[in-house]
Amino acid sequence: MSDDTQNHDGHSGSRRDFLYLSAGAFASVGGAIALWPFVDSMNPSADVLALSTVEVDVSQVEVGQRVTVKWQGKPVFIDRRTEAGIAEARDTPLDDLRDPETDEARAERPEWLVVIGVCTHLGCVPLGQTPSEPRGEWGGWFCPCHGSHYDTSGRIRKGPAPLNLPVPPLAFLNDTNIKIG
């Protein structure tokens, strides 16, 4: 009798088990290698990763001025608000709002409001970034496509839009630089 143990049929069980386990291991590794390109293709590409964050120097933005930057292919409105605009946004009763949200929750620093400039109704870009454009009844933004009006905090006040202009993830790196994303 050899070193291998035999079962009641006279066959060597340990060699067969070893062969089954080895074949299964090789098949698993081969399957994983074959699937890796498909799994890897679901990761974001380098150009998407490059757009995942954007740093904006706002040192040249004057009080009352609005600028637009691009983040992930969308316009982002940055508004350096006046004291009157901040007061008006903070004094608005939440009962008057379709999508109630305080100004404090929307603007980390009261002087700076940063919102994604895409109407929440059907995706148009609202007007109001320059003084010559209509800003709606509440002095914020006006969507020319279907008539939505946003206030100085980017909250929906009138029209078909169901939600406020979204606030992107952001961080103030210092007094003059904002990191969006």
Q: How far apart are CA 121 and CA 134, in angstroms?
A: 18
Residues in the chain: 181
Asked if 11 is an active-site residue, the reply is no
Q: Tell me the one-letter amino acid at 86.
A: I
Reduced to 3 states (helix: H, G, I; strand: E, B; else coil), residue 109 is: strand
> CA–CA separation, 180 vs 167, rounded Å?
10
- What is the distance between the alpha carbons of residues 47 and 94, in angstroms, rounded to a whole number? 41
Catalytic residue among 8, 11, 121, 146: 146
Name all contacts of 169-175 with Cβ < 8 Å and 24+ positions apart: 170/108, 170/114, 172/108, 172/109, 172/112, 173/55
Tell me the residue type at 162.
Answer: P
List active site positions.
Answer: 146
